[in-house]
Amino acid sequence: MPPPGLRCPGCGSSNIIDDDLHCQTQLVCVDCGAVVSEGTLVNDVVGGADVSYSQTTAVARKPCPNLLYGIQRVRAICRSLRVNHEIETLSQTNFTQAYQHEHFINVSLQRKEVLGGCCVLVSCRLLNWPITMGTISCLLDADPMVVGAIYKEMVQTLNITAPTISITDVMEAHSQEYKISPLDAPEELSADPRQLNKRAVALVELAADTWIVTGRQPVPIMMSAIYLAWQSLKPTKQRLKLTLEKFCKIAKVNKHKVAMKRVAEMKEVLCKLGKELPWIREDVTPENVVRHVEDILQHRFALLRRAMRTHEETRLEEGRTSGKDSLNEKSAPSEIPEIQNSSSAERCEIRTDVSEQPGDGDDNPYTAPEPHGSPQEDQEPNWGKRALFAPPCVVHPKKRKAPHPESKEVTGDEEICDIEIDSYIRTPREVREFTLVQQMLSEKEDANVSH
């Protein structure tokens, strides 16, 4: 509608109408036909409104199929372990969170599968359900080291602090894997699962008190405890003759190589305690100790105290009978630390000696550097050999290299001699010879490969 009061500039008429010509608005005077004003051809904004392609073609966002598959796997693992509903829910939540984190979103599918297992493991630990990493590795058919690495990363990423499991808690779940109940094995080889579990837990507790468990993998210890418990429940000739390998075949479990060593260590401890039983006349040896396991376990605390007391009395007597030698021995060990610590005045002295790294805890901190029965070693026996019970890695320590002589004071800014550096550089002739030999070797390799 033209605004009121508008007049044509040509004839002064007020008879002006709105005329749309080719969609263009015009105000035209009816009397003289003059165009009073015209609007723009197009009223739309140049370039159009910003609408992205994804907005125009957007559909409802579907969840990632690999995430759904992973959640299904987590559920399947939970059902095969027969955990409760809370653990299943928590595992799924943890898996969803971890999967979508930047550390795990782009990893391979295999690692995502392992991640699912790790989420189940951490949920079980948080809700007090005993389960080992070995069980998860077995279910996933994955390398335990890979499972361990992903577990550590996941725990750090999700900022979870999971408590450490106790081996006695896991014992019952582990012993159920062994198929030696009366339903699965013949009568002469079967054992009641409850009694077996009880005896095995007692053996593991004894092993924990005598330094066999600390720092070791739990599965071989549990295997050896179950084997000894099974033998001792019915110590017939047939059972005592059966080796660990055959026992594992009967029970349908995979044998651990290390379990044999644990069996030997446990038998050694049982022998030390068996000697204290007053009603046993014969010598207690690893061959016949299994028959006395029941008595030993029943009175193990009293036997431990008695064994420690006997050991202390024996050492005191040895000290008295050796006389002067023992005095010399006692003074020498005190001299050696003084010599070594002669330069230390403060509580924590820093030395720049070269020494080996301790690695997996098998190092002995108390042997002297010389490895072959030196006077220093005799004067300073390690505490493992003095104590009745000690970690086996301390009792049988690794031999150490002799330390290098202490280097002179180094500042880091000394002059560097050119002659020394020249010894690290080849001459041009040596370079030519080296290149020729490399070529000859590579030609030989190619010839071998083609044949």
**Contacts of another protein in 116-135 (CB under 8 A):** 132-134
| Binding pattern for the stretch 304-333 against another protein, x by CB under 8 A and - elsewhere | ----x------------------------x
Q: Which of 423, 447, 448, 450 binds another protein (CB under 8 A)?
A: 423
Q: Three-state DSSP class for 418?
A: helix
The CB-of-62 to another protein minimum distance in angstroms stands at 38
Q: Which of 425, 429, 447, 449 binds another protein (CB under 8 A)?
A: 425
> Considering beta carbons, is residue 212 or 233 the nearer one to another protein?
212
Question: Where would I find the H helices in 82-192?
Answer: 85-99, 102-105, 109-126, 133-140, 144-158, 167-175
The CB-of-156 to another protein minimum distance in angstroms stands at 10
**Does 245 contact another protein by CB under 8 A?**
no
Interatomic CA distance for residues 188 and 234, integer angstroms: 9
> Considering beta carbons, is residue 365 or 375 the nearer one to another protein?
365
Owner of token pair 């390398």: 143
Q: Which of 128, 340, 374, 439 binds another protein (CB under 8 A)?
A: 340
> Considering beta carbons, is residue 98 or 393 the nearer one to another protein?
393
**Does 375 contact another protein by CB under 8 A?**
no
**Does 405 contact another protein by CB under 8 A?**
no
Are the beta carbons of 24 and 38 closer than 8 angstroms?
yes
The CB-of-438 to another protein minimum distance in angstroms stands at 9
Are the beta carbons of 251 and 243 closer than 8 angstroms?
no
> Considering beta carbons, is residue 16 or 133 the nearer one to another protein?
133
Interatomic CA distance for residues 172 and 222, integer angstroms: 10
Q: Which of 141, 346, 373, 447 binds another protein (CB under 8 A)?
A: 346
The count of other CB atoms within 10 Å of the CB of residue 20 is 9
Interatomic CA distance for residues 301 and 356, integer angstroms: 38
> Per the structure block, which two tokens stand in for 427?
């001459």
Owner of token pair 């995430």: 67
Q: Which of 24, 72, 176, 214 binds another protein (CB under 8 A)?
A: 214
**Does 393 contact another protein by CB under 8 A?**
yes
> Per the structure block, which two tokens stand in for 189?
């080889």
Q: Three-state DSSP class for 17?
A: strand
Q: Which of 72, 322, 334, 442 binds another protein (CB under 8 A)?
A: 334
**Does 218 contact another protein by CB under 8 A?**
yes
> Considering beta carbons, is residue 240 or 387 the nearer one to another protein?
387
Stretch that binds another protein, among 9-17, 266-274, 286-294, 420-428 (CB under 8 A): 420-428
Are the beta carbons of 238 and 230 closer than 8 angstroms?
no
| 308, 312, 314, 318: CA torsion to nearest 10 | 150
**Does 169 contact another protein by CB under 8 A?**
no
Amino acid, single-letter form, for residue 373? G
Which of the residues 139 through 168 are near another protein (CB under 8 A)? 144-145, 148, 152, 161, 163-164, 166
φ/ψ region of 87 (left if φ > 0, alpha if ψ in -120 to 50, else beta) reads alpha
Are the beta carbons of 34 and 11 closer than 8 angstroms?
yes
Distance of CA 394 to the CA centre of its chain: 24
Q: Which of 257, 281, 420, 451 binds another protein (CB under 8 A)?
A: 420
Q: Which of 32, 316, 327, 383 binds another protein (CB under 8 A)?
A: 383
Q: Three-state DSSP class for 27?
A: strand
**Does 347 contact another protein by CB under 8 A?**
yes
